[in-house]
Each structure stands twice: as C-alpha cells, then as structure tokens.
Amino acid sequence: MGASAEDAVAALFGKIKRSRLNAYNVLSEDLALERARDFDRSPWSGLMAGVPIAIKSCISTRGIETNCSSRILSGYTPPYDATVIERLKEEGAIIVGKTNMDEFAMGTSTETSYFGPTRNPWDLDRVPGGSSGGSAAAVAAGEAPAALGSDTGGSIRCPASFCGIVGLKPTYGLVSRYGLVSYANSLEQIGPLTLTVEDAALVLDVIAGHDPRDSTSADTPGGYLSALDRGVDGLTLGVPEEYFGEGVNPKVERSVWDAISKLEELGASWKEVSLPHTKYALAAYYIIAMSEASSNLARFDGLRYGLRLGADQDWHTTFSDIRAAGFGPEVKRRVLLGTYALSAGYYGRYYLKALKVRTLIKEDFERALSVGGADLLVTPTMPFPAFKIGERIEDPLSLYMADVFTVPINLAGVPAISVPCGFADGLPIGLQIIGRHFDEVSVLRAAKAYEDATPYHEAVPKEVV
Ligand code: GLN
C-alpha cells in the first residue's frame, strides 16, 4: 500500500515480460506508464480509477495495435476507441496491452493465433482455452487484474473455465459492439474475465448500456455490483439433462453436482429440465457463425487495412494474394464453408435451416426459464478440463465439439457466467450459470453466493512469475 500507480504498473510490466505464457501480443507500456504518472500527479475518481486492464486483440483501441492475432491486421492501429474502451477510460482504467487470441476469434484453444499459442498457467503444456485465451491466462497468472474478452460461442466462458477464473457473457445487446472487429455479429458480446464475481459485476457496470452507435444495444438499469449480495434464497435452478452423461468427464460431472448441492444448501432449489434441441446446436452454430464470418471478413481486402505485399496487380489478383498470405488455415476454412452455405443453391438447405434450428433452441431456453420454471440453469461450462497443446488442432471437428455446452447460449442470446467449481487432476473446472434475457442480476448473485461458500477461486496456478 502507498506505492504509486506508476510503480504498480511498472511492476506489472516486469511480470508480463518475464512470463512464458504469451498472453499478450501487444503491450502499451509507454501509454500505460504515462497515464499512471498522470494519475499519481492528480488522482481521478471513477469505478476503475487507476486499475490496469488487458484487452482482447479484437477490440479497437485508439493508438494501440489491434491485430486480431492475424497476419492480415498486423500493424493495424485503429484511429478510434471501441465504446467499451471509452467507458473504461472514463471510469479511470489503464490499458496494459492487447491479449493473444485465436485468429479473428475462431477457435477454442488460442492455437490459431499468428503469434503462436498462449499457454495455460496451470500447466504450460496445455491450452488456456479460447478464443480469449490470452485474456484468461493473463488474469489467472496475475498479469492483469481484469480483462475484456469477446464471446461468440463460448470464447469468454471456455478460457475462464480452463484457467480457473470468472468469465461472463452478457445478454446479446447489453454491451455495445461498436469497435469490436466482427466475427459473427448476431452471436457475439464483449464481457469481463476476472478473478472474482464482484470484479465481473464492476466491469459490467462500466461497459453495459445503450450506445447510439450500436443499434442492437439496449438500455439497462445497471446496478450489478449493488445487487450482488442478495444470495440464492428462493431461486429455482434448472439442471438440463442433455448437459450430463456421455462425453462429459466424470470429474467435471461430479464437481457440477457438488456445486448444485452447495447452492441447495445456500437456499436454492433445483429440478431437472430439458433442452431437447441441444443436439442440433453445434451444427446450427457453425453454419451461422461461418456464414456471418464469410461476409464480415470480406472487408479485409488488403487495401484499407493491414498487410500489403509488394506491387499491386489487378484488383482480383491483389485481393486474393493478400488474403492467401494474410489469413491462417482456420480462417480460410470458415470463409470457404460460410460462402458455400450462403451460395444460391445451398442457402435454403444450410443457412435457412440453421436459422430455424436457432429459433427452436431459443424456445428451449425460454421454456426452461419461463415463469414457474427455473430462474437459472446450471451446467458444466466445458465437458472436460484443458487439453494439451497440439492435441486437437489438426482435427477441427474435435475442437468444434468442445463447444457443445457454450454455443447454445449464444444462439439463444441469454447471459451466462463460468465460475471455478473444482479441479480434475490439478486442472480447473468451470460451472456455467445461465439466466433469462437481461437477468444478469440473478446470474451474478448466484455466482457470488457460490463463490463466497467455496475456496476454488482462491487457488493460484503454478506458473505465476
Ligand atoms: N469456439 C467457437 C468458435 O470457434 C467460439 C469462438 C468464440 O466465441 N469467439 O467459433
């Protein structure tokens, strides 16, 4: 205590530079130190006054490279801030740098980054989860007290689960996407990755709310932090039968059931519910996400942003040469499949079908979470703990399957949090708590009650420098 903000920020950079995790791909050391010095000279107030925060590389930051872990955007520095960044700055936060991610947020392991994989601080041979793996690893290892990620199909919750921290995907529309580099815009939201539920609520209070520059953003009463301590008394939890059994690691399953018993002890009741269309969620998600990606990534033509290759030729040759050299294999695969799914002859067979399935999945959640049903749903976040680097990357389908419990939530647009709920062979396990549209308050208060009654969030990974 008593140390200056400058000393604290300098110490943080020391730690990041000694780290073996590769959690960041850009550091904004000069800007951060300058801001810390300003703070020391005349401290400002604000919900996050003087607090350092790490930002996923797909969220635009004025003057700080925003490369989405892709070669095609290497060297691209946005001339403006995303709305979430403006809000963090207004509340006094200090940006440390940009975190490593799967290229354009396409992945579950942070292995598709152009800048090499990020490592899991609990076991350096394992992935941190993805696609916000850099954000999660940084927070878990003390290389940032908090981080922002983005979640299109699990990219906040999966790495939170694999790294033993808290990660919240807000309701679709709660947080402005202005300045988020789009992957699949109908599915994704920006959200916090933190060590505690309280910190997640605080960051959400800062970033949530209507933004005239994002027409899908909604007004919100906020007040997440102040609603935290209401406990779980009187809440009914729904336990979806489709999220247990085959394919789920038995230790994960046991930890989640123990968590349900703990929440029951704390005053909640639970009942079994069914989300019958769960088995179609992965197929629908990947068709929709890839279709949107193929359209969103068309803007990377090599003329307006990032990578250039020697002399220009005719437009078609230049466009395809730059994209061939600038995108990695997973991005190419998705652009190709998405373009195929949207093409005239197949649109009805794939894309339209997937949209219909999406409606059925949304209705599953509305039914399970209807008045008289459950207030919250409780499931594992991931079917298993962190896997080894290299174990799945050559087999895209096995990677896609890992998202089975996270993608339905994005298809339905509801909020969900992952909180630490145990360990399997020394690796963290995540509990997923899902709520009704815009009912982040119930999600957070259940997560907080559980956290207060359990020790898992206090465990510290091995790889902390
Ligand atoms: N793993 C999922 C995908 O690859 C989710 C990614 C994300 O949420 N950005 O699409």
Q: What is the pLDDT along the chain (465 residues), one digit of tens a residue?
A: 457 999 999 999 999 999 999 999 999 999 999 999 999 999 999 999 999 999 999 999 999 999 999 999 999 999 999 999 999 999 999 999 999 999 999 999 999 999 999 999 999 999 999 999 999 999 999 999 999 999 999 999 999 999 999 999 999 999 999 999 999 999 999 999 999 999 999 999 999 999 999 999 999 888 999 999 999 999 999 999 999 999 999 999 999 999 999 999 999 999 999 999 999 999 999 999 999 999 999 999 888 888 888 778 888 898 899 999 999 999 999 999 999 999 988 999 999 999 999 999 999 999 999 988 999 999 999 999 999 999 999 999 999 999 999 999 999 999 999 999 999 999 999 999 999 999 999 999 999 999 999 999 999 998 776
Any domain includes 96: yes
Reply yes or no on whether 131 is catalytic. Answer: yes
Sequence-separated (6 or more) residues with CB below 8 Å from residue 222 = 205, 208, 209
Any domain includes 418: yes
Any domain includes 295: no
Please, are residues 190 and 149 in contact by the beta-carbon 8 Å criterion?
A: yes
Any domain includes 226: yes
Reply yes or no on whether 155 is catalytic. Answer: yes
Q: Is 421 helix (H, G, I), strand (E, B) or coil?
A: strand
CATH number of the domain encompassing residue 384? 3.90.1300.10
Q: How many Å apart are CA 62 and CA 122, to the nearest integer?
A: 33
Residue 29 DSSP label: H
Laid out side by side, the sheet with 236-240 consists of: 24-27, 94-99, 52-56, 146-151, 189-194, 166-169, 416-424, 427-434, 376-380, 236-240, 269-273
Q: How many domains does the chain have?
A: 1
CB distance 182 to ligand 1 below 6 Å: no
Q: How many Å apart are CA 67 and CA 103, to the nearest integer?
A: 9
* CA atoms within 13 Å, Cβ hemisphere of 190: 31
**pLDDT per position as a tens digit, 85-97:** 999 999 999 999 9
144-to-100, 119, 127, 366 alpha-carbon distances in Å: 13, 16, 19, 37
Element (H, E) at 434: strand 427-434
pTM over 0.95: yes
416-424 and 427-434 strand pairing: antiparallel
Any domain includes 303: no
Any domain includes 378: yes
Any domain includes 76: yes
CB distance 406 to ligand 1 below 6 Å: no
3-state helix, strand, coil in the chain (%, to 5): 40, 15, 45
Ligand 1 centroid to Cα of residue 70, in Å, is 15
Domain region containing 214: 5-277+361-458
Reply yes or no on whether 294 is catalytic. Answer: no
Residue 65 DSSP label: -
CB distance 155 to ligand 1 below 6 Å: yes
**pLDDT per position as a tens digit, 104-132:** 999 999 999 999 999 999 999 999 999 99
Q: Could you say which of 19, 60, 131, 135 is catalytic? A: 131
Any domain includes 282: no
From the alpha carbon of 183, which atom of ligand 1 is closest?
9
